[in-house]
């Protein structure tokens, strides 16, 4: 189930779907996705599908994790600090943490965050900070981020996330309700102008306000 061959098949599939960043492919190939699922579902971990993680939420499909990460890395210059909205299982967090200096991850459902924190600690990653909060407000006391990635879809992009983009910073976020598009937003230099590009259609859980204990 977790054999090299199974993981290589997943990577092959991602390549066929157009993922081309070798660092991203290597990290996904080396990240044990089965550890982010309950035991009953672990045997499906290397299928390229989203899977339930409880509380009505899902572990993102590997393709979408790869795509979002690749877009973020490709569009951003220097990625020191990345803000992630929607920790979920912590799988995307783990992929990101192997590619950038520091990940700050916000989740609104406390039990999901606790599990994710434990997994990431077990994997020995020390460059992740967690916050239990409504991520649509960003993480204002940290300052600005070169990269922001959201794993939950708002109907329109929250102003706080735009405000917290550093000069030339990049936001990758699904936007919409019934029909959603993966969207790339780049702050133009240190101006208050943003370039927005609608990429591909996607299906994400909604970005909700407030928190759950």
Applying the rule CB under 6 A, the residues between 118 and 137 that interact with ligand SAH are 134-136
Q: Which residue spans within the chain are E strands per DSSP?
A: 51-54, 57-59, 81-85, 102-107, 128-132, 145-150, 165-176, 180-187, 194-202
Six-digit token string for 98:
């192997």
Question: Residue 153's closest CA among 112, 193, 204?
Answer: 204
* String of contacts with ligand SAH for each residue 149-188, x by CB under 6 A: --xx------------------------------------
Residue in 62, 88, 138, 176 binding ligand SAH, rule: CB under 6 A = 88
Q: CA 22 to CA 18: how far, in whole Å? A: 12
Question: Any contact of residue 109 with ligand SAH (CB under 6 A)?
Answer: yes
Residue in 123, 162, 186, 208 binding ligand SAH, rule: CB under 6 A = 208
Q: CA 203 to CA 171: how far, in whole Å? A: 18
CB of 42 to ligand SAH, least distance (A): 14
Which element (helix H / strand E) includes 52? strand 51-54
Residue in 112, 120, 172, 185 binding ligand SAH, rule: CB under 6 A = 112
Crossing angle (nearest 10°) for helices 22-30 and 4-16: 150
Please give the DSSP secondary-structure letter assigned to residue 206: B
Burial (CB count within 10 angstroms: exposed 0-12, middle 13-18, buried 19+), residue 172:
buried
Query: Which residues are CB-contacts of 97 (< 8 A; sequence separation ≥ 6)?
Result: 103, 120, 125, 127, 128
Q: CA 77 to CA 167: how far, in whole Å? A: 10
| 60 in active site | yes
CB-nearer residue toward ligand SAH: 190 or 200: 200
Catalytic residue among 60, 89, 136, 150: 60
Question: Any contact of residue 59 with ligand SAH (CB under 6 A)?
Answer: yes
Question: Any contact of residue 94 with ligand SAH (CB under 6 A)?
Answer: no
CB of 86 to ligand SAH, least distance (A): 2
Question: Any contact of residue 108 with ligand SAH (CB under 6 A)?
Answer: yes
CB of 174 to ligand SAH, least distance (A): 10
Residue in 69, 89, 146, 164 binding ligand SAH, rule: CB under 6 A = 89
Binding residues for ligand SAH, rule: CB under 6 A, are 57-60, 85-86, 88-89, 91-92, 106-109, 112, 134-136, 151-152, 205, 207-209
Catalytic residues: 60
């Amino acid at each position: 189930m977790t054999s090299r061959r199974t993981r290589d098949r997943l990577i092959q599939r991602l390549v066929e779907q157009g993922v081309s960043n070798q660092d991203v492919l290597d990290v996904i190939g080396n990240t044990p996705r089965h550890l982010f699922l309950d035991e009953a579902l672990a045997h499906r971990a290397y299928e390229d599908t989203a899977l339930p993680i409880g509380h009505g939420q899902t572990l993102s499909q590997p393709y979408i994790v790869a795509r979002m990460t690749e877009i973020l890395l490709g569009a951003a210059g220097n990625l020191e600090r990345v803000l992630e909205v929607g920790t979920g299982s912590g799988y995307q967090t783990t992929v990101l943490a192997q590619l950038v200096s520091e990940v700050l991850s916000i989740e609104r459902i406390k039990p999901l965050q606790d599990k994710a924190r434990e997994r990431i600690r077990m994997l020995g990653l020390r460059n992740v900070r967690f916050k239990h909060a409504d991520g649509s407000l960003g993480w204002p006391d940290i300052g600005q981020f070169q990269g922001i990635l959201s794993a939950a879809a708002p109907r329109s992009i929250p102003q706080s996330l735009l405000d917290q983009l550093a000069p030339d910073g990049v936001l990758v976020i699904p936007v919409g309700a019934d029909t959603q598009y993966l969207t790339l937003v780049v702050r133009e230099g240190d101006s208050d102008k943003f370039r927005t590009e609608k990429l591909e259609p996607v299906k994400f859980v909604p970005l909700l306000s407030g928190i759950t204990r």
